[in-house]
Structure 1
Amino acid sequence: MLDQNVITTANEAPKYPKSIAFIISNEFCERFNYYGMRTILVLYMTIKLGYSDDTATVLFHVFTSLVYFFPILGAIIADSFLGKFRTILYLSCVYAIGSASIAVGAIPVLHLPAQSFTIIGLLLIGIGSGGIKPCVAAFGGDQFKLPEQAKQLATFFSFFYFAINAGSLISTYLMPILREDVHCFGDLDCFSLAFGIPGVLMIASIIVFVAGKALYIVKQPAGNVIVKVTKCIFNAISEKSKQSQKQLSHWLDYAEPAYGKEMVNDVKSVLKILLLFVPLPLFWALFDQQGSRWTFQATRMNGDIGFTEIKPDQMQVINPLLILVFIPIFDCAIYPFLAKIGLRRPLQKLAAGGILAGVAFLVSGLVELQLEKTYPVFPQPNESQPGKSSSFFVKSSPKALSFEEKIDKTKSGYPTIRVLSDLESVNFIKFVNNKGEESKKIVTHSINQFEILPSSYSVYADNIKLGDVELLLGGVYTIVISKSSSGGIEMKTHIITSPNSIHMLWLIPQFVIMTAGEVMFSVTGLEFAYSQAPTTMKSLLQACWLLTVAFGDVIVVIIAEAKIFQSQANEFFLFAIMMFIDMAIFGLLAMKYKYVKVNDKKDDSDMENAIPIEKTRKTFTNDAFQDD
Structure 2
Amino acid sequence: MAQDVQLDSETTKPKYPRSIPFIIGNEAAERFSFYGMRSILATFLVAQFFNPTNNPALQAVAEAKSNESTHFFVTLAYTLPFLGAIVADWFTGKYKIILWISIVYCFGHLFLAIFDSNLDGFIFGLVLVAIGAGGIKSCVSANVGDQFDQTNQSLISKVYGWFYFSINAGSMISTILIPWVYANYGAKWAFGIPGILMALATIIFFSGRKMYVRVPPSGINKNNFVFISLYALFNIGKKKKGQALLDVAKEKFNNEKVEGTKAVYRVMAVFAFVPIFWAMWDQNLSEWVLQAEKLNRHIDLGFLDFTVLAGQVQTVNPVFLLLFIPVFNYGVYPLFSKMGINPTPLRRIGAGLALTCLSFVIIAFLQAKVDAGLHPSIWWQIFAYVILSAGEVLVSITGLEYAYTQAPKSMKSTMSAIWLLTVAAGNYFDVFVNGSIAEGGFFSKFTGADYYWLFTGICGAFLLVYMFVAPRLKERNYIDEPEVTENEVVAENFNL
Length-normalised TM-score, structure 1: 0.71
Q: Write the distance in 2 (CA, Å) between the matches of 1:136 and 1:305.
A: 38
Query: Which residue number in structure 2 is paired with residue 222 of structure 1?
Result: 218
Cα deviation, residue 560, structure 1:
1.6
Q: Write the distance in 2 (CA, Å) between the matches of 1:509 and 1:124.
A: 35
Which amino acid in the other structure matches residue 323 of structure 1?
L
Q: Write the distance in 2 (CA, Å) between the matches of 1:357 and 1:38.
A: 22
Q: Does 1:144 align with 2:154?
A: no
Q: Does 1:574 align with 2:448?
A: no
Do the aligned partners of 1:248 and 1:254 also contact (CA within 8 Å) in 2? no
Query: Which residue number in structure 1 is paired with residue 406 of structure 2?
Result: 532
Distance 1:276 1:592, change over 3 A: same
- 3-state secondary structure, aligned to 1:305: strand
Q: Write the distance in 2 (CA, Å) between the matches of 1:195 and 1:157.
A: 29
CA offset digits 1:562-595 (Å, max 9, x no partner): 2322541111111111111102212222111233
Query: Which residue number in structure 1 is paired with residue 422 of structure 2?
Result: 548
Which of 241, 263, 270 is the aligned partner of 1:269? Answer: 263
Query: Which residue number in structure 1 is paired with residue 236 of structure 2?
Result: 240
Query: Which residue number in structure 2 is paired with residue 80 of structure 1?
Result: 90
Distance 1:159 1:301, change over 3 A: same
Cα deviation, residue 308, structure 1:
2.1
Which of 64, 70, 76 is the aligned partner of 2:80? Answer: 70
Q: Does 1:207 align with 2:210?
A: no
Query: Which residue number in structure 1 is paired with residue 315 of structure 2?
Result: 317
Cα deviation, residue 141, structure 1:
0.8
Which amino acid in the other structure matches residue 63 of structure 1?
F
Q: Write the distance in 2 (CA, Å) between the matches of 1:101 and 1:280.
A: 33
CA offset digits 1:516-553 (Å, max 9, x no partner): 00001101111011101011000011111111110100
- 3-state secondary structure, aligned to 2:148: coil
Query: Which residue number in structure 1 is paired with residue 328 of structure 2?
Result: 330
Query: Which residue number in structure 2 is paired with residue 372 of structure 1?
Result: 371
Q: Write the distance in 2 (CA, Å) between the matches of 1:140 and 1:529.
A: 20
Do the aligned partners of 1:40 and 1:313 also contact (CA within 8 Å) in 2? yes
Query: Which residue number in structure 2 is paired with residue 110 of structure 1?
Result: none
Do the aligned partners of 1:323 and 1:519 also contact (CA within 8 Å) in 2? yes
Q: Write the distance in 1 (CA, Å) between the matches of 2:446 and 2:40.
A: 25
Query: Which residue number in structure 2 is paired with residue 121 of structure 1?
Result: 125
The root-mean-square deviation of aligned C-alpha atoms, in Å, is: 2.2
Q: Write the distance in 2 (CA, Å) between the matches of 1:211 and 1:16.
A: 17
Distance 1:153 1:605, change over 3 A: farther
Cα deviation, residue 131, structure 1:
0.9
Q: Write the distance in 1 (CA, Å) between the matches of 2:428 and 2:133.
A: 18
Which of 165, 168, 191 is the aligned partner of 2:168? Answer: 165
Do the aligned partners of 2:356 and 2:388 also contact (CA within 8 Å) in 1? yes
More deviation in 267-276 or 51-60? 267-276
Q: Does 1:37 align with 2:37?
A: yes
Of all paired residues, the percent bearing the same amino acid is 35
- 3-state secondary structure, aligned to 2:341: coil
Do the aligned partners of 2:223 and 2:257 also contact (CA within 8 Å) in 1? no
Q: Write the distance in 1 (CA, Å) between the matches of 2:462 and 2:481.
A: 36
Q: Write the distance in 2 (CA, Å) between the matches of 1:283 and 1:566.
A: 19
Q: Write the distance in 2 (CA, Å) between the matches of 1:511 and 1:318.
A: 7
Cα deviation, residue 15, structure 1:
1.8
Which amino acid in the other structure matches residue 129 of structure 2?
I
Aligned residues: 462
Q: Highest Rg: 1 or 2?
A: 1
Distance 1:305 1:276, change over 3 A: closer
Query: Which residue number in structure 1 is paired with residue 361 of structure 2?
Result: 362
- Consecutive unaligned residues of structure 2, counting only runs of 5 or more, are 1-7, 52-61, 438-442
Q: Write the distance in 1 (CA, Å) between the matches of 2:366 and 2:49.
A: 28
Distance 1:577 1:145, change over 3 A: same
Do the aligned partners of 1:343 and 1:349 also contact (CA within 8 Å) in 2? no
Q: Write the distance in 1 (CA, Å) between the matches of 2:20 and 2:446.
A: 51
CA offset digits 1:175-229 (Å, max 9, x no partner): 11111123xxxxxxx1111111110000000100010011111110125779722
Which amino acid in the other structure matches residue 127 of structure 2?
L
Cα deviation, residue 248, structure 1:
5.6
More deviation in 337-346 or 88-97? 337-346
Q: Write the distance in 2 (CA, Å) between the matches of 1:219 and 1:266.
A: 24
- 3-state secondary structure, aligned to 2:307: coil
Which amino acid in the other structure matches residue 202 of structure 2?
I
Cα deviation, residue 271, structure 1:
1.1
Which amino acid in the other structure matches residue 161 of structure 1?
Y
- 3-state secondary structure, aligned to 2:210: helix
- 3-state secondary structure, aligned to 1:48: helix
Cα deviation, residue 163, structure 1:
0.5
Which amino acid in the other structure matches residue 156 of structure 1?
V
Do the aligned partners of 1:150 and 1:607 also contact (CA within 8 Å) in 2? no
Q: Does 1:290 align with 2:284?
A: yes
Q: Write the distance in 2 (CA, Å) between the matches of 1:534 and 1:133.
A: 22
Q: Write the distance in 2 (CA, Å) between the matches of 1:503 and 1:347.
A: 36
- 3-state secondary structure, aligned to 2:93: helix
Query: Which residue number in structure 2 is paired with residue 194 of structure 1?
Result: 190
Cα deviation, residue 50, structure 1:
2.6
Q: Write the distance in 1 (CA, Å) between the matches of 2:223 and 2:465.
A: 30
Distance 1:317 1:331, change over 3 A: same
Distance 1:227 1:101, change over 3 A: farther
Q: Which has the higher contact order (CA 8 A, sep 6+)?
A: 2
Which amino acid in the other structure matches residue 268 of structure 2?
L
Cα deviation, residue 150, structure 1:
2.5
Which amino acid in the other structure matches residue 50 of structure 1?
F
Cα deviation, residue 501, structure 1:
3.5
Do the aligned partners of 2:79 and 2:424 also contact (CA within 8 Å) in 1? yes
Cα deviation, residue 605, structure 1:
6.4
Which amino acid in the other structure matches residue 70 of structure 2?
F
Which amino acid in the other structure matches residue 407 of structure 2?
A
Higher normalized strand content (fraction of residues): 1
More deviation in 522-531 or 11-20? 11-20
Do the aligned partners of 2:446 and 2:454 also contact (CA within 8 Å) in 1? no
- Consecutive unaligned residues of structure 1, counting only runs of 5 or more, are 1-7, 107-112, 183-189, 375-499, 611-628
Distance 1:607 1:367, change over 3 A: farther
Query: Which residue number in structure 2 is paired with residue 308 of structure 1?
Result: 306
Cα deviation, residue 240, structure 1:
2.9
Q: Write the distance in 1 (CA, Å) between the matches of 2:280 and 2:142.
A: 29
Which of 226, 231, 249 is the aligned partner of 2:227? Answer: 231
Q: Write the distance in 2 (CA, Å) between the matches of 1:227 and 1:257.
A: 12
- 3-state secondary structure, aligned to 2:375: coil
Cα deviation, residue 343, structure 1:
4.2
CA offset digits 1:440-498 (Å, max 9, x no partner): xxxxxxxxxxxxxxxxxxxxxxxxxxxxxxxxxxxxxxxxxxxxxxxxxxxxxxxxxxx
Distance 1:327 1:222, change over 3 A: same
What does 1:500-519 align with in structure 2 at a 5 Å threshold?
Answer: 501-519=375-393
